[in-house]
Amino acid sequence: MGAKALLVGINKYAYINPLGGCVNDVKDMANTLISLGVIHPTPGELRILTDGNATRANILAGLKWLVTGAKKGDLRIFHYSGHGSQVVDVNGDEMVDHKDETICPQDMQVEKDMITDDHLAALFKGINSSEVTLEVILDSCHSGTGTRDLNAGDNQTLIRSIRPSLDHSFLIDANPELKNRRVFRNSVIDNKMNHVLWAGCRDSQTSGEGPINGVQRGFFTYAFCKCLRGAGKGIIRAKLDSQISLYMKNSLHASQTPQLECDATNMKQPIFT
């Protein structure tokens, strides 16, 4: 089996407000994957983009590197930690809430610079889920189906969300049809998906970051890595999702709800298989 991982974490944005825990998230994810033997720390298997290196062009090039040449039995992992947002859907594929979820590159200036869930779907289109395992882990606002908020009781918690521009936010907020929110259980079975999505929150929520043991961290990535290391890579996805959700609720007191989305077969299989 050939394995590749692309890990992206952005604290220092060029034009929008900074975050504090995203680079630490990437370090934790890399250490977790390496310690469990999922990924080896070699250039052929692991690429990390942080801060100024995590431009839109570099992220898209990294994603192309990640999926190109994937063959039967291969594993691909994409982890993103940073700002997320939403824009009005323009191609009609978001039938429920009419919004595309986005991730925000380091050099983002305007909404067209964001990478939407449509961009990711197009990049992942060639993946055959019966042959290649693709795990996508998004620790950003509105990451379900494609903002960081924790009720931590201190003023050090940051929200990983970018508010849409006035024209888009007006359309979303003023139009009753566009204000519809998707409500899911923690686990969502979608038999049309060709990858596994681990989202830090529902698409209507924000994701939070704050100090954990004196270190600024994203709450979802922290819980994901902690629970995965404790269970080992043989844990079934649905069980790991349940453990993450309980840890975030009971130990971190998080207001966000993490969400696992994949087909029924992947839901019942061990992670990374």
Per the residue annotation, which of 22, 79, 83, 104 is the catalytic one? 83
Mean per-residue pLDDT, 239-259 = 94
Q: Which residue has the tokens 């629970």?
A: 227
pLDDT at 188: 83
Mean per-residue pLDDT, 114-124 = 92
Q: Is the pLDDT of residue 247 over 60?
A: yes
Reported residue count of the chain is: 273
The predicted-structure confidence for 233-244, as pLDDT tens digits, reads as follows 999 999 999 999
DSSP state at residue 42: S
Per the residue annotation, which of 22, 79, 119, 141 is the catalytic one? 141
Cα–Cα distance, 12 to 34 (Å, whole number): 26
Is-catalytic flag, 119? no
Domain ranges in the chain?
3-267
Q: CA 131, 132, 134, 135 torsion: positive or negative?
A: positive
Return the CATH class of domain 3-267.
Answer: alpha beta
Q: What is the DSSP string of 209-262?
A: EEEETTEEEEHHHHHHHHHHHHH-TTSBHHHHHHHHHHHHHHTS--SS--EEEE
Cα–Cα distance, 172 to 230 (Å, whole number): 41
Is-catalytic flag, 141? yes
Highest mean pLDDT out of 76-85, 94-103, 177-186: 76-85
C-beta of residue 102 within 8 angstroms of C-beta of residue 35 = no
pLDDT at 142: 63
